[in-house]
Amino acid sequence: MGFIKRVKEEIEIIRQRDPAIHSSMEVFLYPSFKVMLHYRIAHKMYLKKHYFLARWISQRGVRKTGIEIHPGAQIGKGFFIDHGNGVIIGETTVIGDNVTLYQGVTLGGTGKEQGKRHPTIGNNVMISAGAKVLGSFTIGDNSKIGAGSVVLEEVPPGSTVVGVPGRVVKRNNQSLPQEELDQVNLPDPIKEDLSTLHHANAELTNRIIDLERELRHIKHKNKKKS
């Protein structure tokens, strides 16, 4: 793909996914746009084994945007970082098509792996603000990672993950069109567990009240007989 065509594609992606944008000219001010220009050039240098030059270009992008994408990372089409300050993407990360990241996301390693150290992100995945995905495993297609989650193991396709450590709370999601990229309205497993415990406690309390009532009735009958 030519440079001009790539720039037009980046502009269209940002305009589609950020409702705050009012004109194509604004795109040139966006950190996501700037960092992807740096990444594309740095990645080409990396593939040619010009590692120092690749990192130099990459670090210029970091200083301008606050987003760190290692030039060795592999990123597919339709990639978008919303706001983006504090986003970190490691060297062996593989990102599929139509992936959206929010600010503070880390796609990193645990420090224990060798070789492939960073996650593989499938197609149509949304990773919400502050989420950390750490290790060499796959986030399946059409998945959502909730804000602040820490994901340490494989995520099946079509899943919603929340919590620390992250756990799957919903599966078999439909493909995520961009209008459904919602960081907020995700399942809350702690709230659901508390609600379940509340209902169970209410049932036990009612059962105890019934048993006490039956016991008083039996005692009253026994008194009458005596």
* pLDDT at residue 131 is higher than 60: yes
Higher-pLDDT residue of 58 and 206 is: 58
What is the average pLDDT value for the chain, to the nearest integer? 83
Both tokens assigned to 13? 């992606």
Convert 180-204 to b/e letters by CB count within 10 Å (16 or more is b). Answer: ebebeebeeeeeeeeeeeeeeeeee
**Residue 210 Cα to chain centre, angstroms:** 48
Tell me the Cα Rg of the chain: 25
Both tokens assigned to 139? 């986030």
pTM of the model: 0.71
Do 95 and 119 meet the contact criterion of CB atoms below 8 Å apart?
no
DSSP conformation letters of 18-53:
-TT--SHHHHTT-HHHHHHHHHHHHHHHHHTT-HHH
Please report which confidence band the pLDDT of residue 175 belongs to, taking 50, 70 and 90 as the band edges: very low
Instruction: Report the pLDDT value the prediction gives residue 188, as an integer from 0 to 100.
Output: 59
* Surface-to-core class of residue 221, CB atoms within 10 Å of its CB (0-12 exposed, 13-18 middle, 19+ buried): exposed
Please report which confidence band the pLDDT of residue 62 belongs to, taking 50, 70 and 90 as the band edges: very high
Range name among 9-23, 87-101, 201-215 with the lowest pLDDT average: 9-23
- The label of the residue with tokens 């016991």 reads 215
* pLDDT at residue 179 is higher than 50: no
Please report which confidence band the pLDDT of residue 200 belongs to, taking 50, 70 and 90 as the band edges: confident
Pick from 182, 189, 187: nearest CA to 160: 187
Instruction: Report the pLDDT value the prediction gives residue 28, as an integer from 0 to 100.
Output: 80
Range name among 93-107, 134-148, 209-223 with the lowest pLDDT average: 209-223
CA distances from 39 to 2, 61, 99, 179, 191 (A): 15, 8, 16, 27, 41
CA distance 109 to 101: 17
* Surface-to-core class of residue 22, CB atoms within 10 Å of its CB (0-12 exposed, 13-18 middle, 19+ buried): exposed
